[in-house]
Every structure is written in C-alpha cells, then in structure tokens.
Amino acid sequence: MTDVAMAAVAGPAESLGKRIVDIGLALGLLVFLAPLMIVTALAVKTTSPGPILFRQQRAGLHGQTFRILKFRTMTVTEDGDTIRQATRGDQRVTPVGALLRRASIDELPQLINVLRGEMSLVGPRPHALAHDRYYGALISDYAARYRTKPGLTGLAQVMGARGETQTTEDMRRRIEFDNRYIDEWRLLGDLKILVLTAVLVPFQKAY
C-alpha cells in the first residue's frame, strides 16, 4: 500500500503531492500561528496545574500507534484502558480549555505530528485507543479508516460529525464520512476541506 493508501484512487504522484502539501502548509501555519500558540501555552500554564501539552496514544496508518499532541484543556491526562469521553459541561474541562476546544485551538500542536509524518492535515480524526477497541467491536467497517493517516481535520468534521459521540450511531455516522473520504479522495478535496474547516468548524455545535 502507498503512504496514503486510499484504495486505487491515489497514485504515487498524488500521494507525494499530499505529503508535499502537508509539509508546506504545516510549516507555514506553524510560523503564522506561532504568536497564538505562545499565548495559548502561557494561558494553559498559568491558569491550571499540569503540563502545557497533552500527549495520548492514538492509532495511525495501518493501526500503528503514535502520541498525539494537544494543548491541555482538562484537569486530567488520561491515557489508558479506560478513557471517559469529554461531554458538554464536563467539569474536567478548564475555563481556558473550554475556549480552546470551542475554536479547536487545542488541536494546533498536531501540526508537529503532521511534520513528523504521523498525521496528515486532512484525514479521519484519530480516537483514543480505548475508544478504538470499543467502537471497533461494534462497527464492522471501523478499522477501514486505518487505510490512511489520521488528519488534523476531515470530512466528518466539516459535516458536523465531531465532538462527543453520545450513541453508537453518532460514531457510525462519523466512520461513514471517514471511509467515504478515503474512497473518494482527491488532493483538491483536501484543499476544500481545509477551507471549510477554517470557515465552518469554529462556529459549529458539535454533537
């Protein structure tokens, strides 16, 4: 399988193009967003005890694990067999963390994951390993999302299938979008998703 591994849709040239776009945009965004990220790091550090960055194991391409990076938004840093999903009004979310999560600013450190080659700018959002195991046993095509690298954003996110999954059907809908993205992938589609993410996601009410 190729690095992108999107069925027979992506050839070697398109796969290389996706990686070039990832590196170029990730570097540019890191430079452009550096002031915001510095202010965010200071806000996290000075308003609640704990590390600035939250690291948690996630599954990437072919199910290989890596540690995802986020700005810490909660009072806990769970990374084990049992992980409780954040919910609306969750008391574990700090006041600063609530603002970061609402605008998805907490996800910006994943630009480093993109540069490392562990993630792409666009792809299925990676879940905690405990949630992978749980939903993988309930949704037959769940593991098909491992055909490509996970993304900082994706089709599911711009379609509103993001945030808390209160029911298995919520997750099933997200997985359907993830697999549709992989099956129908085009580089132009990635660029469209990136634009829609910037325009729509900060204003969405995630389920």
| pLDDT tens-place string over residues 69-119 | 999 998 876 665 556 666 666 778 899 998 898 888 999 999 999 999 999
Closest CA to 124 of 47, 176, 189: 176
Asked if pLDDT for residue 186 goes beyond 70, the answer is yes
Mean pLDDT of the chain: 87
Per-residue pLDDT reduced to its tens digit, 2-28: 444 444 446 677 788 899 999 999 999
The token duo for 29 is 């965004």
Q: Is the model's pTM score more than 0.75? A: yes
Q: What is the pLDDT of residue 6?
A: 46
Q: Do β-strands 151-153 and 65-71 pair in parallel, antiparallel, or remain unpaired?
A: unpaired
Closest CA to 133 of 171, 103, 102: 171
Residue with tokens 């993109």: 114
Give the phi and the psi of residue 133 in degrees, each rounded to 5.
-65, -45
- CA-to-CA separations, 145 to 53, 88, 118, in angstroms, rounded: 26, 26, 15
Sort 157 into a burial class: Cβ within 10 Å, 0-12 / 13-18 / 19+.
Answer: buried
Q: Across residues 165-181, what is the average pLDDT? A: 93
Q: Across residues 47-73, what is the average pLDDT? A: 94
Q: What is the pLDDT of residue 52?
A: 94
Of 86-100, 113-127, 162-176, 187-201, minimum mean pLDDT range: 86-100
Please state, for a pLDDT cut of 70, what percent of the chain lies above it: 85
Alpha carbon of residue 164 to chain centroid = 13
